[in-house]
Structures are given as C-alpha cells and as structure tokens.
C-alpha cells in the first residue's frame, strides 16, 4: 500500500488558510517570512521523494495559478509531479499535469493508495485533509507550526478525530517554525 504524507502550514491559533498570501484572508501570507532556503530545500526534497501530489479542488486551483509558470528547483519539482485532484466539480485531464478523480473522497483516496506506485504527498487541502484524517487514511501528518497568531481564517481541526495521533518527531527551523510529525 502506498504511503500518504500530508503537510500543512498552521499558525499558533490553528489557522491553515492563506499561508501564501493569495487574498483569502486579510492577514494572508503569514508563512512567507518564515520560508527560508532550508525550508525550500526540505519542501523540494519531499516533492522529489513522491510520485503523486494529492490535492482538493480549491487548493489545486489556487496552486495551479500560483505555481504553474514559476521556475526554480521547487517549482520545477512541483510542476513535474503528477497531480491527482479529488473533486466532484472538475472532470478528466486537467492543466498542470493533473487528473480529476471524482467520487467519495475517502473511498477515492483509499483506492488510490491501493494502486502501484510510491509515496503520495499532500499539502494544504485542509477540507480533504480533515476527511482523510477522520477515515484514518493519512500515514504521516506534518504540521509546520508558525510562531504567529492571525486571529481569523479556517482552522484545520474543527472536529474531533476518531483516534488520537502518535507524536513521531519535532523539527525546528532557524526561522522559528517547528514541524511536528504525527502518525496514526
């Protein structure tokens, strides 16, 4: 079975919305000042270690606009990676090396994990992430906690998980971000 590695930037007040500053909330872009060269290198290595990028529709549309024409090692790794978009509104092959997968999100991802291949990586897509956590389909959860409070925006955890998570590691960065790794 393929491993699903999910990651999200999160603030101290549990906000996951608009870390890149795409205009979703007034204080969007809260993660940008903390993304240094070491962070870029780790993110690029994570993309290169995977063979599928899993996204929900909204995150796909946001990232496709923001990254599809960018250059550099991180952008190139992201652009080259085949993407699977869990959606019931988009159909078929999509721009940016992506394919739409319709149907029940949990069942669709469970089926994807059964297919041959390497690791599946997922960034953002917090609505999908919550669903996958509730169905215990995420094998590794990496939360990059940023030392900032934004006070508004959607939060990752708005419902209880059926089972707790097990702490696996904490990795601090020079910019003050701590990535907490959990497993089911």
- 156 domain residue, yes or no: no
End-to-end Cα, the chain, rounded Å: 15
Render pLDDT for 133-159 as a digit per residue (tens, 0 to 9). 999 999 999 999 999 999 999 998 877
Q: What is the pLDDT of residue 162?
A: 73
* pLDDT classification of 160: cutoffs 50, 70, 90: confident
Q: What is the pLDDT of residue 120?
A: 98
pTM above 0.85, yes or no: yes
Q: Does residue 109 lie in a domain region? A: yes
Question: What is the phi/psi pair of residue 148, to 5°?
Answer: -150, 150
pLDDT for the residue numbered 58: 94
Q: Answer yes or no: is 73 within a domain.
A: yes
Q: Write down the pLDDT at residue 100.
A: 97
Q: Domain of 115? A: 4-148
Which pLDDT belongs to residue 163?
A: 79
Nearest residue to 4 (alpha-carbon basis) of 63, 54, 56, 49: 54
In a domain, 131, yes or no: yes
| Residue 81 in domain | yes
For 63-117, write each residue's pLDDT tens digit. Answer: 999 899 999 999 999 999 999 999 999 998 999 999 999 999 999 999 999 999 9
Coil vs helix vs strand at 88: coil
Question: Does residue 174 lie within any of the structural domains?
Answer: no
The count of domains in the chain is: 1
Can you say whether the dihedral through the CA atoms of 141, 57, 16, 14 is positive or negative? negative
Rounded to an integer, what distance in angstroms lies between the CA atom of residue 78 and that of residue 165?
28
pLDDT in tens, 19-71: 999 999 999 999 999 999 999 999 999 999 999 999 999 999 999 998 999 99
Nearest to 148 by CA among 18, 58, 39, 40: 18
CATH of residue 21's domain is 3.40.430.10
Is 168 within the bounds of a domain?
no
17 assigned to some structural domain:
yes
């Amino acid at each position: 079975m393929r491993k699903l590695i999910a990651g999200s930037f999160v603030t101290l007040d549990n906000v996951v919305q608009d870390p890149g500053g795409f205009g979703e909330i007034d204080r969007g872009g809260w993660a940008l000042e903390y993304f240094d060269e070491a962070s870029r290198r780790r993110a690029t290595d994570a993309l290169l270690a995977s063979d599928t990028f899993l996204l929900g529709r909204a995150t796909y549309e946001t990232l496709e606009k923001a990254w599809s024409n960018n250059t550099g090692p991180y952008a190139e790794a992201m652009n080259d990676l085949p993407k699977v978009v869990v959606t019931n509104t988009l159909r078929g092959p999509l721009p940016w090396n992506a394919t739409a997968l319709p149907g029940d999100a949990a069942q669709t991802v469970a089926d994807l994990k059964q297919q041959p291949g390497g690791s599946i990586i997922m960034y953002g897509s917090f609505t999908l992430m919550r669903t996958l956590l509730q169905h215990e389909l995420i094998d590794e959860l990496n939360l990059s906690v940023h030392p900032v409070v934004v006070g508004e925006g959607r939060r990752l955890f708005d419902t209880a998980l059926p089972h707790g998570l097990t702490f696996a590691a904490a990795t601090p960065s020079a910019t003050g971000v701590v990535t907490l790794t959990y497993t089911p």
